[in-house]
Each structure stands twice: as structure tokens, then as C-alpha cells.
Amino acid sequence: MGKNVEADNIDSGCQTHPMATRRTRRRRRAAADHLWGHIEPESSRLLLLSALDAFLARGFHAATTREIAERAGMSPAAVYVHWKAKHDLLFEISRIGHQAVLDVVEQALDEASDDPVERVHAFVSAFASWHADNHALARVIQYEFKKLPRGQFRQIVGIRDRFEELMREELGRGIAAGVFDVADVEGTTLAVLSLCIDLARWYEPGPEHNSAEEVGDLYAGLVLRMILS
């Protein structure tokens, strides 16, 4: 499977289909409005998005505040005018990203029936689709958040713990109903979440890959075949 990330962010040496690139850019602009539109003033938002690009391309430690400012078209000192420290940028990106995917999963569960199979399908489909559709953001929030200071790190872990709680609850429903055969709920929970999170590492929209929605349905089906009695 391909392991590209957006060509605008990392030069992987691979060609991206022009139509796929345009679709990716349109989707990213729409996602930016939804995820980051509340960040004011605009210069703070631009720096946050520039930090996202820099962390994606180079990692948190290698990316510098000078680089982040330059990507935003600002002077090197601009970061500290709007943000106290580089790790505050990573924290805000991580907080917004984790909360966004949690909102998507909780909405999917709210809209699902009481049937355990439908609910697990809804959870996994939503969780996997989000990581595919927001693969650039997902890669940063999933693989860089451990570099946060302890206090900020613990706040992000608190959101992440909610995903595990929800999946354990849904597996428990199915076990109680006799439709799931799961000997190790904790291990299965981590396996399901890890499967979906790994999409951020390799997924890139294009002719060679399924759409984010198709990937979500595929992963949901795989998980159900793994746990059904």
C-alpha cells in the first residue's frame, strides 16, 4: 500500500494524479474552514496551519518557529506574538483534531440503532473514514502528540481514553447479546483502534486507493468478521 502524504507537504518522490491532488486541496480547504475557522485572529490561524504543515513535513522537534513563520509569510518573531511556545501550537492542533474525530464517532453512535453489529460498524466506519479523509492532520495528532509537555499530554490522553471507553462499551454490548466472540476486550479494543489509526501513515486519496468512505466500510467489515460469533 502507498505511504505518501500530501505532495504539498512531503516530497516523497512519487507522482500524484492531478485530479486527486485538486480533490485533496478542495477537501482540505473545506476541512480547514470547519476545524480552524474559530481560531482568531487570522494570523494566529495561519500560524497554526503552517505549524501543521511543518510538523507533518519535518516532525515537531525538527520544525522551527522560524520555518513556521516563513510558511505563513510572517517574520520569525510572529509565532511568539500569537503563541507562547511551539508546543502550544502542537497542543492546539492535537486538541482540535482529537475532539473532531471524537465528535464524528459520537455522532455516528447517536445515529445508530441499538443493534451491537450496527453500532460497531458505525464506530469503525466513522473512525477509519475520518483518519483517511484527514490523513495529514491525523498523522500529526497520532504520531507527534507524545512530544507535548506532561500537562498538555495528559489532556490529550484524556480525549484518547474516551475512544477506548466507547469501543469497550460497544464490544460489551455485543458480548452480552451473544453476537460477539471476544475473549480479550482490552486487546481487541486496542487492535481495532490501531488498525484505523494506521491509515494516517499510508493513506493518500487517488485512483489507486478507495475513497475515505469506502475505506471506512471496508475496515468496519473486517472488524466485524474478526469479532462476530
Residue 8 pLDDT > 60 = no
Q: Is residue 78 part of a domain?
A: yes
Residue 104 in domain: yes
In a domain, 7, yes or no: no
> Domain count of the chain?
1
Q: Is the pTM of this model over 0.75?
A: yes
Q: Which pLDDT belongs to residue 205?
A: 84
Looking at residues 157-161, what average pLDDT do you find?
97
pLDDT of residue 178: 97
Is the per-residue pLDDT at 28 higher than 60? no
pLDDT band at 92 (very low <50, low <70, confident <90, very high): very high
The three three-digit cell numbers of residue 178, written as one number:
451473544
Domain membership of residue 107 as a residue range: 18-227
Per-residue pLDDT at 1 exceeds 90? no
Mean pLDDT score, 207-223: 93
- Distance spanning both ends of the chain, measured CA to CA: 30
Residue 6 forms part of a structural domain: no
- Closest among 58, 80, 75, 38 to 147, alpha carbons compared: 58
Give the integer Cα–Cα distance in Å for 169 and 181.
14
- Taking a C-beta distance cutoff of 8 angstroms, is the pair 124, 137 a contact? no
Q: Convert the pLDDT of each residue in 112-123 to its tens digit.
A: 999 999 999 999
CB 94 within 8 A of CB 144: yes
Please tell me which residue, 19 or 37, carries the higher pLDDT value: 37
Q: Which of 101, 102, 156, 134 is nearest to 200 (CA)?
A: 134
State the Cα–Cα distance between residues 183 and 229, nearest whole angstrom: 11
pLDDT computed for residue 33 by the predictor = 67
165 located within any domain: yes
Residue 10 lies in a domain: no
CATH number reported for the structural domain that contains residue 188 in this entry: 1.10.357.10
Average pLDDT, the chain: 87
